[in-house]
Structure 1
């Protein structure tokens, strides 16, 4: 009968472990009153929601290749993947407590004869021991559930990092192209200033322009030329930032010269606010962290109750190696033990209270994450609306500034206008062209921010 006890114990432990390993994948999250729509109305046309390849809607094959390279080589993404793998290992470790443990110990010894003694005694032993903690109160199950939830949180965290990295690559690439355009505008403005300077010098040589006029125009030329080195430095810094996002050394990275005229402006509508709860990985991460905290509370409560452990062993021992498996040398035993906390200075209850408060903290953190997400989308929608209006008005201003500059230059040649008017119109044209370039970049980057705020096309599978 004793020989049958150990296999029965092993089978019972395995069945109990299988039952205990039914870990809930999802935990209920706090309910929140979500708005029915956005305060900034979105355009009805365009995509209903960002897709997983949202950056392709900017119409740049070069950008798509850079994003692909960044997703494969970015160092922050590699670190986030390592954190996911660590969480997977921790989840497996936590799940081990739901299974029986089996240990085998074996040994053999021989007595060496001294002088005058020819007999040598040989002894050997082998013991197989099985133990299993009955998870009656669900402590081990809760610990495994917490580890599983932490794993999900790390997976969502990696998706958040991926979205941030991808958005950073797209926004930085657009900045590089914008600076290329602004350099072209700065060089054109310099040429305009130099052309006017040639005119002033010609008039000064015949006494039609004063030395003050000549000094003013030379100052204007110097001011236009001084803007170019700063733009070049900004372009180098943007390319270096892009190289880092791609996981490349900045010294070996460069982009071909191209401007924002190669980029399309995609339109995207934000859908409903409630969709953010399943479309943003940072919100799903907060949910997973809350689920882990709930499981930790369950584990801390279960630790207040007694723990039951079943043990069993079977083995053999013999003074002669050849008779090790002799039936008379076999033995087996089974047992059960109960350990209950009696006095621990309040440690277990304090740990339970700590787990409860940690859960309450994460409840508020979850709500804060949702509110921040809602505010982020609404803010970007308002920014897009404002930038569209600014660009429309700035285009009108630029056209009028160009007309004013051309007319003032013609009138100056004819002697019907003074140089100060030419300088003013020249400066106004340069300023509005630079501002329009900045607004164009801001509008494109606001679209990137909207894609990011909407979760970038990610959706939990």
Structure 2
């Protein structure tokens, strides 16, 4: 019994070889459409607000992938590891990237022929007669069995498949950059939320100490009132001050709980399944990584890389639209067996085959192809503008955080002197009240000023920590554009 396959007489083989050679030569041609060129953006050679900063040296000063470790907070390190493994927003971005990778493999399938097979069994019959004359003739019935295989291949003469694969690869690389951007955004959100929660812990400790001091003041004022050396108004002022401090401390509990719930969602947990113990606000030294050159930002920001890859994707789709103006060449072949008897089905007399090219060309389509081409060009122009805007916005972010860190450092230094003076003034005022030289209302005013100075100092420290996180994020957090690998696809492309 013969196997199923294609076999051609010898007289056809020279022609087949010539046709195959012509197809291979055609495949080496260039794809239609513009070749991609990176859009030019003027980024300058320095940062406007980088006063006193030095150019980054990639060896030791550039932001690291684990940039949050520079804050030297072990609890933050642990939360980051857990978040990177369980965050649902990152999981969504990774799933979208896998979809883009699958599109690359799907587009690459256009380089290869489509192979199929079919089998059928039919029974048919027919007859005719003349009822008026009583005579007639009849036809018999019979079986028909068929088994065939077919191969079809659309030759990529004009590079439509190549441009499609190029667009899919650029889209997949943009998806990989989106994953990195999402991961960096979640890291930044976690760090900022964590520091805000720790700042509430520190502020609550401040209020705890303040409430304890106010309780002692109230007790002392009540004793003085009982001894007849203080007015009842002093007792009322002391009690009012104490209750206000207690109310503000309760408000901190509410705000801290909400931040704890936000951390739970970032970690992929239900709020009821997560709790963070109270702790100090660490990071005594706020890290300030050098900004480097503006051009290095293009290599460090994943959102810039994603915008650039989408520009390349839009450029490749112009070639796909232009290829629609050229004829399509399809090579097809079919072979098999057909017969009416099983016993003779796979014998040579019942073998059939066919081979031939088909050239298809659209003569008139009412302007559909022209519209698609104009749309592709407009999408490319849009992506170029989006890329340039992304670069300029990134530069603005870095400039903003540079000046914010610099000014906040100056504010913190000034606030430190104000806090020292407020503490000294409070101590002197309390001594004067104990000596009976002033009334308690004067003490209340100085204590309120001192508490405000303490809170301002704590707020400035938190602002510097958050600004440092934001600057590291704006600089790419240690991410590099070299991490974008070419998507793997089972394709063989002509160079």
TM-score by length of 2: 0.86
**Aligned: 1:89 with 2:110:** no
CA offsets, 1:262-293, max 9 Å, x none?
Answer: 66532311111101111111001001111110
Counterpart in the other structure of 1:202: 223
Counterpart in the other structure of 2:158: 137
5+ long unaligned stretches in structure 2: 1-6, 126-139, 484-495
**Pairing partner for 1:240 from 252, 261, 276:** 261
User: Given that residues 57 and 264 in structure 1 are in contact (C-alpha distance below 8 angstroms), is that contact kept between their aligned partners in structure 2?
Assistant: no
**Aligned: 1:405 with 2:426:** yes
- The DSSP-based 3-state class of the residue aligned with 1:230 is helix
* Residues 144 and 184 of structure 1: CA distance in aligned 2, closer, same or farther (over 3 Å): same
CA distance in 2, matches of 1:304, 1:23: 10
5+ long unaligned stretches in structure 1: 113-118
* Residues 23 and 264 of structure 1: CA distance in aligned 2, closer, same or farther (over 3 Å): farther
**Alignment size in residue pairs:** 454
Counterpart in the other structure of 1:170: 191
CA distance in 2, matches of 1:109, 1:19: 46
CA distance in 2, matches of 1:90, 1:23: 21
User: Given that residues 31 and 159 in structure 2 are in contact (C-alpha distance below 8 angstroms), is that contact kept between their aligned partners in structure 1?
Assistant: no
Counterpart in the other structure of 1:427: 448
**Aligned: 1:2 with 2:8:** yes
CA distance in 1, matches of 2:186, 2:284: 20
CA distance in 1, matches of 2:182, 2:30: 31
* Residues 182 and 109 of structure 1: CA distance in aligned 2, closer, same or farther (over 3 Å): same
* Residues 11 and 56 of structure 1: CA distance in aligned 2, closer, same or farther (over 3 Å): farther
**Aligned: 1:79 with 2:92:** yes
Counterpart in the other structure of 1:436: 457
Deviation at 1:14, TM superposition (A): 9.5
- The DSSP-based 3-state class of the residue aligned with 1:102 is strand
Counterpart in the other structure of 2:44: 35
CA distance in 1, matches of 2:354, 2:284: 77
User: Given that residues 23 and 144 in structure 1 are in contact (C-alpha distance below 8 angstroms), is that contact kept between their aligned partners in structure 2?
Assistant: no
Counterpart in the other structure of 1:59: 72
Counterpart in the other structure of 2:116: 103
- The DSSP-based 3-state class of the residue aligned with 2:429 is helix
* Residues 74 and 12 of structure 1: CA distance in aligned 2, closer, same or farther (over 3 Å): farther
* Residues 222 and 14 of structure 1: CA distance in aligned 2, closer, same or farther (over 3 Å): farther
Counterpart in the other structure of 1:48: 61
Counterpart in the other structure of 1:115: none
Written as runs of structure 1 = structure 2, the 5 A alignment for 1:6-405 is: 27-41=36-50, 42-44=52-54, 48-109=61-122, 123-261=144-282, 264-405=285-426
CA distance in 1, matches of 2:166, 2:55: 44
Counterpart in the other structure of 2:488: none
Root mean square deviation, CA, Å = 2.7
CA offsets, 1:338-362, max 9 Å, x none?
Answer: 2212111111101100110111011
* Residues 18 and 154 of structure 1: CA distance in aligned 2, closer, same or farther (over 3 Å): farther
- The DSSP-based 3-state class of the residue aligned with 1:321 is coil
CA offsets, 1:79-102, max 9 Å, x none?
Answer: 111101111112211122222111
User: Given that residues 37 and 273 in structure 1 are in contact (C-alpha distance below 8 angstroms), is that contact kept between their aligned partners in structure 2?
Assistant: yes
- The DSSP-based 3-state class of the residue aligned with 2:197 is helix
Deviation at 1:20, TM superposition (A): 8.5
TM-score by length of 1: 0.92
User: Given that residues 55 and 293 in structure 2 are in contact (C-alpha distance below 8 angstroms), is that contact kept between their aligned partners in structure 1?
Assistant: no
User: Given that residues 21 and 141 in structure 1 are in contact (C-alpha distance below 8 angstroms), is that contact kept between their aligned partners in structure 2?
Assistant: no
User: Given that residues 3 and 314 in structure 1 are in contact (C-alpha distance below 8 angstroms), is that contact kept between their aligned partners in structure 2?
Assistant: no
- The DSSP-based 3-state class of the residue aligned with 2:282 is helix
Deviation at 1:320, TM superposition (A): 2.3
* Residues 16 and 107 of structure 1: CA distance in aligned 2, closer, same or farther (over 3 Å): farther
CA offsets, 1:118-154, max 9 Å, x none?
Answer: x996542222111111221212221221111111111
